[in-house]
Chain A
């Protein structure tokens, strides 16, 4: 690992260097939305409200919770979220 390591692009350079964001879905119809609570205090207050509003629109919402905000989500949890949902909302800050 190095701050200065430079690699030469092996591709035809038709894509930008920075990875593009995934495209926004045109509609949430038929998609499942994960809401991931990172276990930060009172994060649930905000996420509960987001979940309520999505559910009110008839969108399927699945709730998940990280054991602790101090570490990345366990692999099994990440795999479960990816398998059960197409979108994920994660609250990151205080």
Chain B
């Protein structure tokens, strides 16, 4: 669309520099210069100037790509020739061809930000007047349709309400990453549907994420698609598990993934929404819905959302470093986790005693008479961790001790022993049996500063190559 020849000024009353130049607009109009003034906020600004228009919807400001007010543009032959912003006396005199314009004004006054760039407005303007570049199918709701109910009706929610994924919200979410919206992350089970960055953003909006969480969600989705994690099996099993996201590194602290008080509980937006976004991607993009491909007998509340950060301590190697990443890297680790089992030991003051407590409690993963079935994640609270740190025990030292203590007598574990039919094959009698497969015991530090309690999160009973292996992915962009 050709622009009107002559001069275009974009201004807002709220801007003192726009106030400074207002009399000049009357002067230019009186001199017969073809002039269009787009005012962003107040019809009374430049009232009486024939070309003054209230740009109420900000469409003209948006189309002109204005970042500052006042902006002065010279147009010839329907095309922009030159522009300046703020008040620069020399620039204004040259662009207007009026060598004495504003001679009594100061030489220079900076302008203000255009209303088009105010928070929350820019994306709405792209949706109304621009090209969003988004590829997802648009679903227009009916006149009488409530948007929250509409999301339920279409089967998009996990049972809790979701934030309706409007194009403006999705555009704002995509500001959280430098990755292209059409980049394909992989095929999401069970439908093996291609998943783009944009589809992740749509589901992250619904889950309640902030844009700054998006890189973590993207990494979590990519981790879930790593073959070893076995997301299809994690979803479709009759057992309890769901993808638990453990975040390590500086990004966890920057965006506020909770690793402290109530780290495994409710009340933190990052924890609640990042884990939920991953689950919504599985549900909506992958088509993984309970009662359909998800055949869980009981499930676990963590299947709504399960995400926390490790409370990293300089004396204990973080999970990410144990798994081969640099300490300054930010990572997600996915673990096919069940529920949380508390370990209450308020009396142990030596690492030996506390390790024995942990080992005894870890025996109940799956069943005290089963071994090398499910992995386990041991979440050591700061109070418990202190017992080890004060005795000079590293995380690796604790794991070695637990592996030693969890070498269990096969005689007690075989089917029928103790009058319980469940148990290991008879061939295991008379042998020591490790409770966990090699690499099957993960240890992280998390929790509030008071409480001699830790937690065990059992893994899927089909842990390891047969089912799911914990996977890690660096969070990039």
List residues of A whose CB falls within 8 A of some B CB: 1-14, 17, 19
Contact = CB atoms under 8 A, between A and B. Distances in A.
A11 B147 contact: no
B287 A9 contact: no
Contacts of A4: 140
B313 interface: no
A63 to B, nearest CB: 29
Nearest to A3: B143
B329 interface: no
Nearest to A17: B139
A12 B193 contact: yes
A7 B280 contact: no
B137 A8 contact: yes
A27 to B, nearest CB: 25
Interface stretch (B29-37, B162-170, B219-227, B410-418): B162-170
B122 interface: no
The 4 A-B pairs at the shortest CB distance, nearest first, are namely: A12-B193, A9-B137, A8-B136, A10-B284
A71 B230 CA distance: 51
Report the contact-size class of chain B (Cβ under 8 Å from the partner).
35 or more
B202 A8 contact: yes
12 contacts: A1-B147, A4-B140, A6-B138, A7-B147, A8-B134, A8-B137, A8-B166, A8-B170, A8-B202, A10-B136, A12-B284, A14-B193
A3 B154 CA distance: 18
Given A1-B146, A5-B140, A14-B287, 7 more contacts: A6-B140, A9-B202, A10-B206, A11-B284, A12-B287, A13-B136, A19-B153
Contacts of A5: 140-141, 145, 147, 164, 166
Contacts of B153: 19
B144 A1 contact: yes
B203 interface: yes
B24 interface: no
A4 B202 CA distance: 19
Given A1-B146, A8-B138, A14 B191 contact: yes
Contact of B203 (A10, A14, A17): A10
Interface string B148-178: 0011011010000000111100100000000
A14 B165 CA distance: 18
A81 B144 CA distance: 25
Interface in B189-217: 191, 193-194, 199, 202-203, 206
Interface in B304-352: none
A14 B284 CA distance: 11
A54 B440 CA distance: 62
B197 to A, nearest CB: 13
B285 interface: yes
A10 B147 contact: no
B285 A10 contact: yes
Contacts of B136: 8-10, 13
A17 B139 CA distance: 7
B285 A11 contact: yes
Contacts of B145: 1, 5
A14 to B, nearest CB: 7
A9 B166 CA distance: 9
A10 B140 CA distance: 14
A10 B156 CA distance: 7
Contact of A7 (B164, B194, B199, B286): B164
A10 B141 contact: no
A75 to B, nearest CB: 15
Given A1-B147, A2-B141, A11 B156 contact: yes
Contacts of A10: 136, 156, 165, 199, 202-203, 206, 280, 284-285
Contacts of A3: 143
A13 B193 CA distance: 9
A94 B335 CA distance: 61
A10 B152 CA distance: 12
A86 to B, nearest CB: 18
A58 B145 CA distance: 40
A12 B206 CA distance: 15
Contact of B166 (A6, A12, A17, A19): A6
Contacts of B143: 1-3
Contacts of A12: 188, 191, 193-194, 199, 284-287
A1 B188 CA distance: 33
A7 B141 contact: yes
A53 B141 CA distance: 40
A13 B138 CA distance: 10
A78 to B, nearest CB: 16
A2 B154 CA distance: 17
A23 to B, nearest CB: 16
Nearest to A12: B193
Contacts of A7: 138-139, 141, 147, 150-151, 164-166
Contacts of A1: 143-147
